[in-house]
Amino acid sequence: MLTISKDRFKRDYIQKFIELHGKDLDEGTNLNKYEALGSLIRDYVSRMWIETNKRYNREKEKQVYYFSMEFLLGRLLGNSLLNLGIRDVCKKALKELGVELEDLENLEQDQGLGNGGLGRLAACFLDSMASLKIPGNGCGIRYKYGFFEQKIIEGSQVESPDKWLREGNVWEIKKTDKAEVVKFGGEIKTEYIGGRLTFTHVNYEPVLAVPHDTPIVGFENEVINTLRLWSAEPVVNEFDFSSFSRGEFLKAIEYKNSVEAISQVLYPDDSFYEGKILRLKQQYFFVSAGIQSIIRHYKKHLGDLCLLNEKIAIHINDTHPTLAIPELMRILLDEEGLSWEDAWRITTNSVSYTNHTILQEALEKWPIDMFKKLLPRIFMIVEEINERFTKELWSKYEGQWDKISQMAIVGDGYVRMAHLAIVGSHSVNGVAKLHTEILKNQQMSDFYYMYPRKFNNKTNGITHRRWLIKANPKLTSLLNETIGESWIKHPTDMEKFERFKNDSFVKESLFKIKNENKQKLAKIIKDNQGIVVDTNSIFDVQVKRIHAYKRQTLNALRIMDLYNKLLENPSLDIAPRTFIFAGKAAPAYYLAKKTIELITALADKINNDPRVSDKMKIVFMENYRVSLAEDIVPATEVSEQISTTTKEASGTSNMKFMMNGAITIATLDGANVEIRDEVGDDNIVIFGLTEREVLEYYRHGKYSAWDTRNGDERLIKITDQLVNGFYHDEKDRFRIIYENLLNYNDEFFVLKDFASYIEAQEKVDKLYKNKEKWQEMSCVNIAHSGIFSSDRTIKEYATGIWGSGYLYKNL
C-alpha cells in the first residue's frame, strides 16, 4: 500500500502540473488537471512496477499469460487510486486545491477494447490476479479504435468510430525495444541440414509488433502486473519511404496501410462468425508476438525450455487466440530444435482454454485455402497435429468414419479452432455450471468422452473492487459499519450481512442508498436522454448486448402488454416502473437494430401518453459502456436476466446487480442457476422453460409459435400492434420482429415464455409494494454475492488449472 500524506500529495501534484503544462494550476482546464493527475499516479506506480518485475524475475514464480482478443477495462484512474489505497487522500488534497476528483475521473475515456462479457471478464481477471499477488500478464491487441460509439438518431442506432486515443493515453508505455517481428504469407523451404529437417520461411511479409504496457494495480499490496497490448507497424521506418522510386513508393504505402490495418479496429460483432482474413491476421499477429516475447523472456531469466510448462501457463480466452498452440510448437520445433514429442508435451501442458458460448453461429472455423496462404508454416503444424490426432481417433473408433471426420481438426475444407483448442490444451472449462454440463453432454460430448479429465467448470465472477467499492461507495460504507471490513479482502465474508436482514435501520439504509443512487442515475438520464424519470418508481433494467437470445423482445412485449392493460384500466394498481435499456447491436445485425427501434418507438409513444405517464416510462440509454454501467448498476432494483435457457453461457451483469442489492428476475440459465442456489427461491424470481424443456423442443420441433399466440388474447393484441401502425407511422418498421416471432417460429421461445414472464413480473410488483420484504431480499442478495467475486474465480483457475499463485493464501 502506498502511504502518502495529503500535503505531500498536494506538493507532488502541483509540481507535476507545472512540469507538464508550463502554467499554474488555476490557469489549467479540467483536462489538463486530469492529465497531470494521471501522470502523477503513473509515476507512483512505476516504482512499484519495476519492483514487482524484479521480484518476479528473482523468485521465478510461475507466470500466467492470459491471451485475449479483448480487454474491456473501462476507466483506470479511479480504480488505480482505490487499489493504491490513496483515493481518499487524493480526493481531499485535490479538494483543498479547488479540484473535484470525480470531475477529473469523468473526463477519462473508457478503454473499450471489447464487445461485452468476454472482454470485461478478462479485465476483472487482471484486477483479481494483481490483487491476489498472482504473477499474471494480459496479452492482446492495442486497437486504435475500440468498440464503436453508439448514438440513437430518430430511434435508430448510428455508429461512429471510438477515437479513445484522441487525447493520448497516460497509462500506457510504449516499449519499442521489446518489439517482435511477425511473418505472414510467403513460402516454406524445407531442407535437410546436418541430418535434420529444417523449415525456412521465405518471401514473407514482415510486420513489426510493438508492445504498449499498461500497469494493473493490485489492491493495497504493492503488486503491479502488466497488460501488454500489441500495435502493428511497418518494419521499415518512415525515412525509407521518401527514398523509394515512385513505383516502390506506392508499394510501400500499400504495405504500410495493410500492416496498420491489423491493429486498427476491434471487430464489433460477437455473435456471428465471419471468415474474414483481417481477423485471422489479428489473431496470429498478437499471438505470435506474445509467444515470441514469452520465450525471449523465459530464455533470459529461466533458460531450460523443457521446464517451460512448470514456469508458465498460457490461457486462451475463447478460441480467438488458439493459434498460440501451433505458434508455440513452431518456436519449439523450428527455432529451438526440440523433438515433436517434447514440443507437444510442453505445449499442451502449458495451454488451457475457456469456452464462452454454445451458439453455433459464433464458432470459429477458417477456410483452409485462406489459412494456408496466410500462415504456411502454422498450417503445416496444424496438419501434423490433425494427422496425429486422427490416428489416435482411429485406434479408438476404427472404421467409424463419420465420427472421426466430425471430430477432426481439419475437415470439410476448414480448420476448426475449438477442436484445435481442445486437443492442444490440458484444460477446457465452461463459465457456469449449467454451461459446462452442456459442453460435456451436448456440444462437446465426443471430446468429453475422449478426454474426460480435461473438462472442468469455472463459474465467472466480477471484481467487487470496481463493481461495489468503487461504483457504490455508500453501500460499501454500510457494509463496513455493519460487518466490518474483512469482506474487502475476503468477499465471502459478506455473508455476515444476512444477519441484518430484519434490522430496520439497515433496511432503511438500504432503501436510502438505493434512492440516492437512483437520483444520480435520474440526473444522467435527464442530461443524456432528456427524459425525466420518477425516482419513486421501480428501476427495472436490462443492459447488455442486443441479441435475439437475450430476448430484449420479451421485455418489449410485456411493456406493450402493460400499456394495453393500463389503457383498459387506468386505475390498475401497480407500482410505477421505469424500464431502462442500454446496449449495442452489431452493425450488421439487422434484427438487433430493429429491436432498438422497437424499444425507442415504445418510449416515444408511451412516454408521451399522459394517461399512463405516472405509471410507466421507458428509457433507452445511448452508448452503453463500462463507465455507464457503473452508474446504472448501483441504481437498479430489478435485474432482467431473461435469456432463453441454455443460451447464455454465464452472464456477469447478473452478478453485478445482485451485489448492488437488485432483485433478479431470471430464467434458469447460465450463472442465474447458481445465483438462485445462493439466495434461495424466496429471494429471486424465476420463470420460463427449463433446460430440459428447451432441449426437448429443439430436438422434436413440436413448438408452434402461432398456436401459442392464438391461445393468448394478450399476445394476439400485441403481435398485431407490431404491424398495424400502432407504434409507428411506418407500418412495416417492425415486421421483421413479427416474422421472426411467428412465421419463423420464434427460435428463442419468446412467445412460449411470455405468460410465465408476465406472472413473474406481477410477483415482482407485489414484492416491491412490500417495502420491508423487498429490502430484506435485497440484503440477502448482497450478503450472498461474495462468492461471485472474480477473486474466487481466479483462485479456482490458479489452483485448478494454472498451478500458480501460492502467495494469495498469505493475504
Among residues 656 and 733, whose Cβ is nearest to ligand 26V? Answer: 656
Q: In the set 87, 356, 365, 784, which binds ligand 26V (CB under 6 A)?
A: 356
The phi, psi pair for 157, rounded to 5°, reads -75, 130
Distance of alpha carbon 452 from alpha carbon 448, whole angstroms: 5
Distance of alpha carbon 805 from alpha carbon 798, whole angstroms: 6
- The runs of H, that is alpha helices, within 503-622 are 504-529, 552-568, 590-607
Q: For the residues of 205-274, what is the DSSP string, one character each?
A: EEEEEEEEEEEEE-TTS--EEEEEEEEEE-SS-HHHHHTS-HHHHHHHHHHHHHHHHTTTB----SSS--
Residue of 545, 594, 617, 625 marked catalytic: 545
Q: In the set 4, 302, 362, 755, which binds ligand 26V (CB under 6 A)?
A: 362
Site size toward ligand 26V (CB under 6 A) is 21
Stretch that binds ligand 26V, among 130-138, 299-307, 345-353, 647-655 (CB under 6 A): 647-655
Integer angstrom CA distances of residue 409 from 365, 414, 639: 10, 8, 41
Among residues 72 and 346, whose Cβ is nearest to ligand 26V? Answer: 72
Minimal distance, residue 392 CB to ligand 26V, in Å: 29
Among residues 122 and 223, whose Cβ is nearest to ligand 26V? Answer: 122
Minimal distance, residue 544 CB to ligand 26V, in Å: 9
Coil vs helix vs strand at 119: helix
Residue in the shown chain whose Cβ atom is closest to ligand 26V:
117
Residue 636 sits in the site that holds ligand 26V (CB under 6 A): no
Residue 624 sits in the site that holds ligand 26V (CB under 6 A): no
What does the buried/exposed string (b/e) look like for 101-129 if buried means 16 or more CB atoms within 10 Å of the residue's CB? Answer: beebbebbbbbbbbbbbbbbbbbbbbbbb
User: Is 356 marked active-site?
Assistant: yes
Containing H/E element for 173? Answer: strand 173-174
Minimal distance, residue 584 CB to ligand 26V, in Å: 13
Minimal distance, residue 586 CB to ligand 26V, in Å: 9
Q: Enumerate residues 208-267 that contact ligand 26V by CB under 6 A.
A: 267
Minimal distance, residue 118 CB to ligand 26V, in Å: 3
Among residues 460 and 517, whose Cβ is nearest to ligand 26V? Answer: 460
Distance of alpha carbon 415 from alpha carbon 376, whole angstroms: 13
Residue of 544, 615, 752, 784 marked catalytic: 544
CB distance 807 to 64 below 8 Å: no
The phi, psi pair for 140, rounded to 5°, reads -160, -160
Residue 648 sits in the site that holds ligand 26V (CB under 6 A): yes
Residue 538: count of CB within 10 angstroms of its CB: 23
Q: In the set 118, 585, 741, 794, which binds ligand 26V (CB under 6 A)?
A: 118
Cell of residue 288, nine digits:
505470435
Containing H/E element for 46? Answer: helix 30-59
Residue 649 sits in the site that holds ligand 26V (CB under 6 A): yes
Region at 644 (left for phi over 0; alpha for psi -120 to 50; beta for the rest): beta
Which of 265, 257, 270 shows the shortest CA–CA distance to 282?
Answer: 265
Minimal distance, residue 36 CB to ligand 26V, in Å: 36
Strand pairing class (410-411; 414-416): antiparallel
Q: Enumerate residues 539-598 that contact ligand 26V by CB under 6 A.
A: none
Residue 357 sits in the site that holds ligand 26V (CB under 6 A): yes
Residue of 281, 320, 440, 550 marked catalytic: 550
Residue 121 sits in the site that holds ligand 26V (CB under 6 A): yes
Minimal distance, residue 551 CB to ligand 26V, in Å: 13
DSSP 503: -
For the chain, the 3-state helix, strand and coil shares in percent, each to the nearest 5, are 55, 15, 30
Minimal distance, residue 358 CB to ligand 26V, in Å: 9
Which of 46, 238, 328, 279 shows the shortest CA–CA distance to 141?
Answer: 279
User: Is 656 marked active-site?
Assistant: yes
Residue 431 sits in the site that holds ligand 26V (CB under 6 A): yes
Q: State the burial class of residue 162 (Cβ atoms within 10 Å of its Cβ: 0-12, 13-18, 19+).
A: buried
Q: Enumerate residues 367-426 that contact ligand 26V by CB under 6 A.
A: none
Stretch that binds ligand 26V, among 195-203, 356-364, 534-542, 713-721 (CB under 6 A): 356-364
Q: Enumerate residues 266-305 that contact ligand 26V by CB under 6 A.
A: 267, 269-270, 273
Q: In the set 651, 661, 688, 805, which binds ligand 26V (CB under 6 A)?
A: 651
**Site track for ligand 26V across 305-344, x = CB under 6 A:** -------------x--------------------------
Minimal distance, residue 789 CB to ligand 26V, in Å: 15
Distance of alpha carbon 726 from alpha carbon 729, whole angstroms: 8
Q: In the set 650, 672, 778, 790, which binds ligand 26V (CB under 6 A)?
A: 650
CA-angle at 518, arms to 512 and 522, nearest 5°: 145
Among residues 319 and 509, whose Cβ is nearest to ligand 26V? Answer: 319
Stretch that binds ligand 26V, among 115-123, 476-484, 502-510, 734-742 (CB under 6 A): 115-123
Among residues 111 and 721, whose Cβ is nearest to ligand 26V? Answer: 111
Those residues whose C-beta lies under 8 Å from the C-beta of residue 388, and which sit 6 or more positions away, are none
Distance of alpha carbon 2 from alpha carbon 295, whole angstroms: 33
Minimal distance, residue 693 CB to ligand 26V, in Å: 20
Residue of 62, 228, 356, 617 marked catalytic: 356
Among residues 409 and 418, whose Cβ is nearest to ligand 26V? Answer: 418
- Identity (one letter) of the amino acid at 742? L
Among residues 354 and 390, whose Cβ is nearest to ligand 26V? Answer: 354
Q: Enumerate residues 452-511 that contact ligand 26V by CB under 6 A.
A: 460
Residue 516: count of CB within 10 angstroms of its CB: 14
Among residues 648 and 746, whose Cβ is nearest to ligand 26V? Answer: 648
Cell of residue 619, nine digits:
428509457
Q: Which residues bind ligand 26V (CB under 6 A)?
A: 115-118, 121, 267, 269-270, 273, 318, 356-357, 362, 431, 460, 648-652, 670
Which active-site residues does the annotation give? 356, 544-545, 550, 652, 656
